């Protein structure tokens, strides 16, 4: 029996408004411009949370509330919102939970790769997800990234093929893309009825009914359940047979019925789909158009029917910070409180908000919670839940809930908050390294302090944004995931913190690594009358495969370096790794063994050994055939066929490697790997080459060796 099943008798506190089984925590995630925010607006409207549908192109959406989001028409920060859904009874339609009311917590995540951290941290705390795909473009590069992130956290998914009203929409192609590119076991449960200008509604495959939306009702609230039109009847029956056959391959109950040549009823099929979605073996697909208000209500029904409640998933397992033993956080209101802070945000009205997901127990205003990372206690003075664009104060939140704390200090993204005497630490989300940096300085001396404070606040909110000082130049260096990311940061500095900044040209985050093993020796001998300085370190460096990181081990035998100086040697090595020998970039991926050295009874001290270790590592790097690495980007260009040759030629000039070219109708998708340093200003170039008709997206892929002639240019620029 699973740990979840063990606590099922005792899960729900009698005071909670919605039991855990009637809670759904899910995210909406996809490639940029697939229609996530539009879909979220429709869900909020149909659940009664808002009374007027907002539009991205008009800048009136609820979840895109930042000025930058509304101006640019993109989502930058994930927005958490709570709403309620009664699964109503409808003639001829079987629903798994009809007549019951559910609370749903939605997180609308960004699609742009520069804000991938928002998706990462959201998926870490969600129980399920709607993956949105464009019916014209199908699976795009960022769709693959989001899918990988969801797989990493074992998040069950349903797919929504959106934009069926657009010219070139193809539902079947989108499903084939999911199967081929994502390896998804994807099968339609709600097929769009018609497409482009003739999109009328959906065919419910399981119930063998048609949902026809009224053209007189522009907001999509009026629809009729009808028999499937004769011309679509055969297709709908085949879709049902294919669906049952696909389930028979993976579900024991349906498999047995299939062998006995019995046809399962609608409820048995729905239960089987639910079981396999929870097991991450099946992806039900819904087609429709969020913008044209066709198909959203039945998508929410699919969320209720197929995506998990907090008790349907395996419980989170953390570690006891004292003993390091595994500790489960069971979804039980009577259990010890354990939650994960997944997002920090500064709100103009209430100040600093800490969004958190409760995994076990409950927490109320006035309670004190413990942060195992900082070892500090925090008193909870205020808890809010976001409902559309309103903030509602609540007294208590229970296991499975997502809410925000107001007024707490010393909390970072990924911190666990738990009950006193229950020191559990939950796995925090992981974030990619920044790939681009630039120097910033305030326009006036008076702004210097405000700039430091603003950058610090933004760094607390965003784990992929870092701020450092260059000791040699005294400059402040900010780093992030792309040009747009840093552009938004500077814009927020201006608007929210009233600081005008000058910024330098973006710089690439190069890395250095070694290609062969070597030994290095470093010695510090200083005699200045009185007590001197003496440290002597010998170490070896060995290359490891890319992505393995750095390991430093003490292999000294015979006490040639006394044990008390080993931490100083380690510190010296770590410091030396920050600045390589080619252009001062951080050094990555190697094993370092401290093997020998010598000391002086009087003159040796920690500083001397730290300096000796720095000299030793620099010496080893000179002998280890060090190379420079640059970040490579995975680039997809979508272009009309007539511009394909120009696009490929331009990518080749940018040192790009064309990986493959796919033809879709009259357009081509070019997939390439291109160095980030060659992609600056690409948006203007692609627009002028294609008369504004081509589009591209890119995401970090891996690090690759920089060609020798380019290394020379980079080092010259550095000197200049």
Residues 36/122, Cβ–Cβ less than 8 Å: no
Provide mean pLDDT across the span 188-203: 90
Pairing, β 476-480 against β 396-398: unpaired
Provide mean pLDDT across the span 496-507: 80
CATH code of the domain covering residue 265: 3.40.50.300
Higher-confidence position of 490 and 472? 490
Q: Which residues contact 39 (CB under 8 A, 6 or more apart)?
A: 28, 130, 132, 160, 162, 290, 296, 299
Residue 477: count other Cβ atoms within 10 Å of its Cβ.
16
Per DSSP, 294 falls in state B
**Is the predicted pLDDT of residue 72 greater than 50, yes or no?**
no
| CA distances for 143 relative to 110, 112, 429, angstroms | 11, 10, 19
pLDDT in tens, 644-697: 999 999 999 999 999 999 887 677 889 999 998 888 778 778 878 887 777 777
In terms of Cα–Cα distance, which of 58, 37, 53 is closest to 109?
A: 37
pLDDT at 530: 66
3-state secondary structure 213-262: ECCCCCCCCCEEEECCCHHHHHHHHHHHHHHHHHHHHHCHHHHHHHHCCC
Higher-confidence position of 684 and 366? 366
pLDDT at 501: 84
pLDDT at 121: 65
φ/ψ (deg, to 5) at 55: -125, 140
List the single range of 51-55, 368-372, 458-462, 600-604 with lowest mean pLDDT. 51-55
Q: How confident is the model at residue 110 (pLDDT cuts 50, 70, 90)?
A: low
Q: Are residues 170 and 277 in the same domain?
A: yes
**Is the predicted pLDDT of residue 477 greater than 60, yes or no?**
yes
Q: How confident is the model at residue 516 (pLDDT cuts 50, 70, 90)?
A: very high
pLDDT at 216: 62
DSSP string, 617-634: HHHHHHHTT-EEEEEEEE
Per DSSP, 428 falls in state P
List the single range of 46-60, 172-186, 467-481, 520-534 with lowest mean pLDDT. 46-60
Q: What is the pTM of this model?
A: 0.69
At which of 608, 625, 642 does a domain end?
A: 625
Q: How confident is the model at residue 42 (pLDDT cuts 50, 70, 90)?
A: confident
Residues 511/629, Cβ–Cβ less than 8 Å: yes
Provide mean pLDDT across the span 163-183: 90
Q: Are residues 116 and 195 in the same domain?
A: yes
**Is the predicted pLDDT of residue 3 greater than 70, yes or no?**
no
Residue 312 lies in a domain: no
Residue 671 lies in a domain: yes
3-state secondary structure 496-533: HCCCCEEECCCEECCEEECCCCEEEEEEEEECCCCCCE
Query: What is the domain count for the chain?
Result: 5
pLDDT at 355: 85
List the single range of 129-143, 275-289, 613-627 with lowest mean pLDDT. 129-143
Provide mean pLDDT across the span 80-103: 84
Q: Are residues 520 and 497 in the same domain?
A: no
| CA distances for 604 relative to 111, 565, 618, angstroms | 56, 9, 21
pLDDT at 458: 83
Q: Are residues 74 and 223 in the same domain?
A: yes
Q: Are residues 148 and 294 in the same domain?
A: yes
Provide mean pLDDT across the span 613-632: 94
Residue 647 lies in a domain: yes
At which of 251, 274, 306 does a domain end?
A: 306
pLDDT at 389: 60
CATH code of the domain covering residue 692: 3.30.70.240
pLDDT in tens, 203-212: 999 999 999 9
Provide mean pLDDT across the span 426-455: 81
Q: Are residues 571 and 648 in the same domain?
A: no
Which residue segment(s) compose the domain that 484 sits in? 436-507
> Half-sphere exposure (CA, 13 Å, Cβ side) for 200?
13
The chain-wide mean pLDDT, for the chain, equals 83
List the single range of 111-125, 429-443, 553-567 with lowest mean pLDDT. 111-125
Exposure string over 620-657, b if 16+ CB within 10 A, otherwise e? bbeebebbbbbbbbbbbbbbeeebbeebbebbeebbbe
């Amino acid at each position: 029996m699973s740990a979840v099943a063990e606590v099922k008798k005792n899960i729900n506190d009698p005071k909670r408004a919605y039991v855990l089984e009637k809670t759904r925590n899910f995210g909406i995630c996809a490639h940029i411009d697939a229609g996530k925010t539009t879909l979220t607006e429709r869900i909020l409207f149909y659940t009664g949370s808002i009374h007027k549908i907002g539009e991205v192109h008009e800048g009136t959406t609820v979840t895109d509330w930042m000025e930058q989001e509304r101006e640019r028409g993109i989502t930058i920060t994930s927005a958490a919102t709570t709403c309620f859904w009664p699964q109503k009874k409808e003639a001829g339609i079987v629903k798994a939970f009809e007549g019951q009311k559910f609370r749903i917590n939605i997180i609308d995540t960004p699609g742009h790769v520069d804000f991938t951290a928002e998706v990462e941290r959201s998926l870490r705390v969600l129980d399920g997800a709607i993956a949105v795909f464009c019916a014209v473009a199908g699976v795009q590069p960022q769709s693959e990234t989001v899918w990988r992130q969801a797989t990493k956290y074992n998040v069950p998914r349903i797919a929504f093929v959106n934009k069926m009203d657009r010219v070139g929409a193809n539902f079947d192609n989108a499903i084939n893309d999911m199967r081929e590119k994502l390896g998804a076991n994807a099968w339609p449960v709600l097929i769009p009825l018609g497409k482009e200008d003739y999109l009328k509604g959906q065919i419910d495959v399981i119930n063998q009914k048609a949902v026809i939306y009224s053209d007189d009702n522009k907001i999509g609230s009026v629809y009729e359940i009808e028999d499937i039109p004769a011309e679509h009847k055969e297709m709908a029956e085949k879709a049902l047979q294919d669906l049952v056959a696909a389930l028979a391959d993976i579900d024991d109950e349906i498999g047995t019925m299939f062998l006995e040549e019995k046809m399962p009823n609608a409820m048995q099929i729905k239960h089987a789909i639910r079981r396999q979605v929870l097991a991450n073996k099946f992806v039900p697909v819904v087609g429709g158009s969020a913008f044209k208000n066709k198909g959203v209500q039945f998508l929410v029904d699919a969320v209720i029917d197929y995506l998990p409640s907090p008790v349907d998933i395996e419980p989170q397992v953390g570690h006891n910070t004292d003993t390091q033993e595994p500790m489960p956080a069971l979804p039980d209101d009577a259990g010890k409180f354990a939650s994960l802070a997944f997002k920090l945000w500064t709100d103009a009205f209430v100040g600093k908000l800490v969004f958190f997901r409760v995994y076990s127990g409950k927490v109320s205003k006035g309670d004190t919670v413990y942060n195992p990372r900082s070892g500090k206690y925090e008193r909870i003075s205020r808890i809010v839940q976001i409902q559309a664009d309103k903030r509602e104060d609540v007294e208590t939140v229970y296991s499975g809930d997502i809410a925000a704390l107001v007024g707490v200090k010393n909390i970072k993204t990924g911190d666990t908050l738990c009950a006193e005497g229950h020191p559990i630490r939950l796995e925090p989300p992981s974030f990619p390294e920044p790939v681009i940096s630039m120097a910033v300085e305030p326009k006036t001396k008076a702004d210097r302090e405000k700039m430091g404070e603003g950058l610090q606040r933004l760094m607390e909110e965003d784990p992929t944004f870092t701020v450092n000082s260059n000791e040699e130049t005294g400059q402040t260096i900010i780093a992030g995931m792309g040009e747009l990311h840093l552009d938004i940061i500077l814009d927020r500095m201006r608007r929210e913190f009233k600081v005008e900044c000058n910024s330098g040209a973006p710089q690439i985050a190069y890395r250095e690594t070694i290609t062969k093993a070597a030994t290095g020796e470093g010695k510090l001998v200083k005699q200045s009358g009185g007590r001197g300085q003496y440290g002597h370190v010998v170490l070896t460096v060995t290359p490891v495969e890319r992505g393995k990181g750095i390991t430093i081990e003490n292999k000294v035998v015979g006490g040639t370096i006394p044990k008390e100086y080993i931490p100083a040697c380690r510190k010296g090595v770590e410091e030396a790794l920050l600045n390589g020998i080619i252009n001062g970039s951080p050094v990555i991926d190697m094993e370092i063994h401290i093997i020998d050295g010598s000391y002086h009874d009087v003159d040796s001290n920690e500083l001397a050994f730290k300096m000796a270790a720095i000299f030793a590592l620099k010496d080893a790097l000179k002998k280890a055939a060090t190379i420079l690495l640059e970040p490579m980007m995975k680039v997809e260009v979508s272009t009309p066929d007539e511009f394909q040759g120009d696009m490929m030629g331009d990518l080749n000039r940018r040192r790009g490697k064309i990986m493959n070219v796919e033809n879709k109708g009259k357009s081509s998708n070019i997939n390439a790997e291109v160095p980030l340093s060659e992609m600056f200003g690409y948006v203007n170039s692609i627009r002028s080459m294609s008369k504004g008709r081509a589009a591209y997206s890119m995401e970090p892929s891996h690090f690759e060796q920089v060609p020798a002639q380019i290394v020379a240019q980079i080092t010259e620029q550095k000197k200049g």
